[in-house]
Structure 1
Amino acid sequence: MKAPRPPRPPLPQFPGDHTHAEWRDHTLAYVIVAALVVAVVALVVWVIDPAPPRTITMSAGSRDSSFFVAAEQYRKILAKNGITLKVLESDGSVQNLQRLLDPKQHVDLALVQGGIADGLDTSSLMSLGSVFYSPVVVFYRGTNVNQLSQLEGKRIAIGREGSGTRLLALKLLEANGIGPGGSTTLVPSDGLQAATQLVSGEVDAAILNGDSATRGLMLRVLKVPGISVMNFDEASAYTRLFPYLDQIDLPPGVLDLRHRIPPDTVHLISPTVEIVARTNLHPAISDLLIEAAQEVHGMPGLLQRAGEFPSPVAREYQISEDAQRYYKTGKSFLYRTLPFWLASIGDRTLVLLLPVAVLLFPAMRLIPALYRWRVRSRIYRYYGALIAIERGALANSTEDERKKLVEELDQIEASLNRLRMPLAYADAFYVLREHVGFVRDRLGAVSWQRSHP
């Protein structure tokens, strides 16, 4: 028994309104190209040039420290530009650096004193510049001490465990042959406690650093009979051996002009405090922070001249490229003339012009190719229908089936009569019409052969 033939696929649906079909051909090409450009631009925005964050976190110091006070001033200035700065309390520079180096800690930047990064991998960090001095001041009982080595065998207050003062003091003492376990007693106290112990005779010397060496405390200690401040005669040597140190001077009378305290110039050594950030800090935020630092630290003070800070001098951390650019040229034109967020949008738009320009030329070449593909695909649909009709006629079809094939062919021809074809494809259009006539002739020939066996 002869198996029945599988049913023939139905005739494809040809567009009834060819004006809309042509419009769709044009539109589809532009839509595809536009979608491609938008996708690439969105990728550039997301990966290469994201918007500045509205909230950043800074690790500072204890609430009564100069670190915390400075961070609070930054917070107020950044708030004027719509940026929220969260200030975290900490034990000081050591904890600040640990937080920055720990990826689990959501800290973007911190104030860090020089001299505490030895042996640590800080390649993931960058500096926005130094912002103020954190001087080392050594008070001792007696007179004529101008070298740390002269304190060997004494009782020295060097700072509490884990503090930046202690780390720095141990390095300086070690350079002078004094270390833990020797004849020198190293007492873990600093600040007011160390000064009190010195005045009461519990220690013979106290190494103060940063907040513990305030103008008020230095005056109080120097007014006590029998207590002197050490003059670092070898300050230049310290700055060579420890690159993060600077030499600064206390001129005569700078603490108290009336009583001429100190009576002579006192040479001190001092690390600087830097704004240290992770390398992914947004450039616009970097500019705002340096601008805030200029407002907060740019005035003259006890230890600095006007305009000395912030400074881009490299210390223990690499100076960021954005910071170097800011120190050389200042804010860009957009940020000088527009509000921060509007300037940010304009700046990012300029960045996006490059990938858009790069995409524009291949995109313009892609549009004609897409349109050509759409037109040819419509022609190929007609050819697919013609092939199906011709195969149906060549099969062992009945008279009724051949009549239905002729009806389908009439539908194709009627659709072609309404088809609007661009002049560039007129040759393909007329070849298609000839092939319709060819298939019609084949149908007629097959019908005659079947009726005259």
Structure 2
Amino acid sequence: MTPIKTFIQPFQILFNKISALYGKSFIWSIIVVLGISLFVCVLVFTFFNSAAPTTLTIVSGPDGSIFRKTADKYKVILEKQGIKVKIIPSDGSSDNLDILMNPKIKVDVGFVQGGSLEDKTDKPENLLSLGSISYQPLMIFYRGEPKTLISEFKGKRIDIGEDGSGTHSLAIALLKANGINTDDSKYLIEKYPGNAVRALLDNHIDAIFVMGDSASLELIQKLIQTPGIQLFNFVQADAYARRIKYLNKIQIPEGALDLGKNIPENDISLIAPTVELIARDTLHPALSDMLLEAAKEVHGTAGLTRKAGEFPSPVEHEFKISPDAARYYASGKSFLYRNFPFWMASLINRMLAVIVPIALLLIPSLRIAPAVYRWHMQSRIYPWYKALLELERDAFSAKADESKREALIKQLDYIEASVNKIKIPATFGDLFYGLRGHISFVRQRLLAEQQTVDT
């Protein structure tokens, strides 16, 4: 016996046994159910492509900015999990939002500062928030006598950051709120060419607005420690936080920057929007989980302006929280990605995407298949019962004469011959023999009636 015949033989025996019990049509019914289930699963699998992608594109900020350094940290963490990360530089938060809103640019996620939607006429429907990851404090460094109100910068030469940065957008909003004409280009400088600190020291500008999306951490630290340069204390921080919904009041305690030199000498209040991790709604749930894990590792510790465990946070601002992110905050990573390496979890998830739909279709189908099949068998028997009842009713009606009864006997012969041609599996023999018994019963009544009439 050839290996092929040896392999096929058990299936042939099973096929023959099922054929003997149910008939070949039942087997073909099961085969059709399996085929349809498999076809549906292939369509679902092809359409949704459940496998988690292994590449991720992040739009960050200018080279050297805090946004860019944060993206670099994410990259190190994610690539340990087998996810290849591409980082796209930008001009800052507003530019990040423009890039995310542009369907022609391939990008998955980016850092967007609260308030970036304020000057957008079109509200993006395809963007979701994975949560807030940090505060983004606004720092105003200036020369001269201490100032307590932003309105005191009126008529001063102010560097408010490049257009497209979160610094620029927030600076414009604050200056307008304090009655300063932001259209006066004589005093507002989008970005002073060259070294901003040197320009401030050399009296080329009077003040500089800086935030993490458009300035490096080194620049901020250098400005804080430079003699003759003061850091603006937002004494109206509470008022700003109440009037501008996306702002928060934060505080740098006395000596927090340098205990030995007691920098700063007093508590300093700042205002800060939060930075949100904004993703397109096409981001795979597994990548959403991995990004939030990276954010937790990078931002979860205590820092100058945050408490331990404060970020990432599912606080909803201008963007709706992603359902995948909401599930992560409630229960953590999904079971597979929590207990297996990323590549293995992705493979298992892909297999389940095929197995689960098959099970969902196949189990109910197999449960109802016998009932459907029995109904099919009954539909071949019961029409003859209707014909038999009508025949019996005509035969024993008052109007039935001898010639009509003879015609009815011929009709009964036709019914019996037709029934004998029906092929019924042994499992449904009760239906078949029951019908034949009833045909014999009607025939006996007809013959008995005929004999009565003859005598």
Coarse TM-score class (shorter-chain normalised): 0.7 to 0.9
Which runs of 5 or more structure 2 residues have no equivalent in the other structure? 1-15, 381-416, 437-455
1:364 lines up with 2:367 in the alignment: yes
Per-residue CA deviations over 1:372-393 (Å, capped at 9, x if unaligned) read: 869999xxxxxxxxxxxxxxxx
Equivalent position of 1:424 in the other structure:
428
Task: Tell me the distance in 2 between the aligned counterparts of 1:253 and 1:208.
Answer: 21
Equivalent position of 1:279 in the other structure:
281
Provide TM-score, normalisation by structure 1. Answer: 0.73
How far is the alpha carbon of 1:421 from its aligned partner? 4.4
Q: Give the alignment partner of residue 319 of structure 1, picking from 313, 321, 326.
A: 321
Task: Tell me the distance in 2 between the aligned counterparts of 1:251 and 1:40.
Answer: 62
| Percentage of identical aligned residues | 40
Equivalent position of 2:168 in the other structure:
166
Equivalent position of 1:68 in the other structure:
68
Distance 1:219 1:76, change over 3 A: closer
Task: Tell me the distance in 2 between the aligned counterparts of 1:297 and 1:202.
Answer: 37
Aligned residues: 385
1:261-272 → structure 2 map (5 Å cutoff): 261-272=263-274
Task: Tell me the distance in 2 between the aligned counterparts of 1:280 and 1:370.
Answer: 44
Which amino acid counterpart does residue 246 of structure 1 have in structure 2?
A: N
Alpha carbons 1:191, 1:208 under 8 Å: kept: no
Task: Tell me the distance in 1 between the aligned counterparts of 2:17 and 2:73.
Answer: 69
How far is the alpha carbon of 1:31 from its aligned partner? 1.1
How far is the alpha carbon of 1:202 from its aligned partner? 1.1
1:188 lines up with 2:190 in the alignment: yes
Alpha carbons 1:232, 1:266 under 8 Å: kept: yes
Alpha carbons 1:110, 1:275 under 8 Å: kept: yes
Alpha carbons 2:254, 2:263 under 8 Å: kept: yes
Task: Tell me the distance in 2 between the aligned counterparts of 1:19 and 1:35.
Answer: 19
1:237-386 → structure 2 map (5 Å cutoff): 237-344=239-346, 349=352, 353=356, 356-357=359-360, 360-366=363-369, 369=372
1:10-25 → structure 2 map (5 Å cutoff): 24-25=24-25
Alpha carbons 2:301, 2:309 under 8 Å: kept: yes
The CA RMSD measured in Å over matched residues stands at 3.8
Which range moves more in the overlay, 367-376 or 239-248? 367-376
Provide TM-score, normalisation by structure 2. Answer: 0.73
Equivalent position of 1:101 in the other structure:
101
How far is the alpha carbon of 1:151 from its aligned partner? 0.8
Per-residue CA deviations over 1:118-165 (Å, capped at 9, x if unaligned) read: 234132111111222222111122123111111111111111233222
Task: Tell me the distance in 1 between the aligned counterparts of 2:223 and 2:431.
Answer: 103
Per-residue CA deviations over 1:283-322 (Å, capped at 9, x if unaligned) read: 2211111001111122222222222221211122111122
Task: Tell me the distance in 2 between the aligned counterparts of 1:342 and 1:233.
Answer: 54
Task: Tell me the distance in 2 between the aligned counterparts of 1:194 and 1:357.
Answer: 64
Distance 1:306 1:78, change over 3 A: same
Which runs of 5 or more structure 1 residues have no equivalent in the other structure? 1-16, 378-412, 433-453
How far is the alpha carbon of 1:177 from its aligned partner? 0.9
Equivalent position of 1:110 in the other structure:
110
How far is the alpha carbon of 1:366 from its aligned partner? 3.4
Q: Secondary structure at the match of 2:139?
A: strand
Q: Secondary structure at the match of 2:32?
A: helix
Q: Secondary structure at the match of 1:210?
A: coil
Alpha carbons 1:132, 1:310 under 8 Å: kept: yes
How far is the alpha carbon of 1:242 from its aligned partner? 2.0
Equivalent position of 2:86 in the other structure:
86
Alpha carbons 1:190, 1:207 under 8 Å: kept: no
1:129-144 → structure 2 map (5 Å cutoff): 129-144=131-146
Which amino acid counterpart does residue 245 of structure 1 have in structure 2?
A: L
Which amino acid counterpart does residue 29 of structure 1 have in structure 2?
A: S
